Amino acid sequence: MIAVIEYGAGNLGSVVNALTHLGVPHVVTDDRATILAADGVIFPGVGATADTMANLRARGLVPVIAEAVERERPFLGICVGQQVLFSTSDEGARHDCLDVLRGEVRRFPDDLIVPHMGWNGVRRRHEHPLFAGIPDGAEFYFVHSYYVAPVDDALVLGETEYGVTFAAAIARGPLVATQFHPEKSGRWGLQLLHNFAALVERGLRIADCGLRNDEGAGHGPRPPRPASPIPQSAIRNPQSS
């Protein structure tokens, strides 16, 4: 079961529609217990990092997100949901973000047209199950004026060129995040969301986040996962969206 964090993000409906199209059961929630009980978490986002942080604080979600990451279950941040995972942002007055990952959010150089909006290719640094079945250089949909600059360059999973080379996707164990919007990226975006759901279904942990696409190879059969403690009445199935 995937929990989609509800905090007023503008792209939440698009994410839910994509999951519904793929037949992925999910629950949209800002409830701590429900988020922490989920097998995986999606953290969507559009807009400004300062507004996002204000909304997260207002709903008491800052410590919840940190705890969800610490529990080492698959976690996908999207767009601003990627940016605020880092330490600070220069958007507006410099301000603190979640500091789950060390690094900062920077504005594109002044000589570039912003926002960077439209389709652009993502070159992978290495293979990862999140991109299984997706060709290197596949195009995804972007709309942003800021980008993340991780302290640890090894976090960068995929990169894109727009005046500068920036991190379009990052990964640390079961935590992954994208600057682009997979829910608006057609075939390859749906494939990426399908891959994330597959990681959730497998119960991905840090040891399973190797640099290979042969999913589960060498790990042997997995024991059955326990039933989700999330009430069935809270779950959005494909027929009920």
Q: Active-site residue numbers?
A: 79, 181, 183
- Helix %, strand %, coil % for the chain, to 5? 30, 25, 40
User: 224: Cβ–Cβ under 8 A, 6 or more apart, which residues?
Assistant: none
Contact between 11 and 46 (Cβ < 8 Å)? yes
Strands (E), the chain: 2-5, 26-29, 40-43, 75-78, 88-89, 95-96, 103-107, 116-121, 123-124, 139-144, 146-150, 156-162, 164-172, 175-178
Helix axes 49-58 and 62-70, enclosed angle (nearest 10): 90
User: How far is 12 from 5, CA to CA, in rounded Å?
Assistant: 8
127 φ/ψ angles, rounded to the nearest 5 degrees:
-75, 150
User: How far is 40 from 171, CA to CA, in rounded Å?
Assistant: 15
CA 66 to chain centre: 14
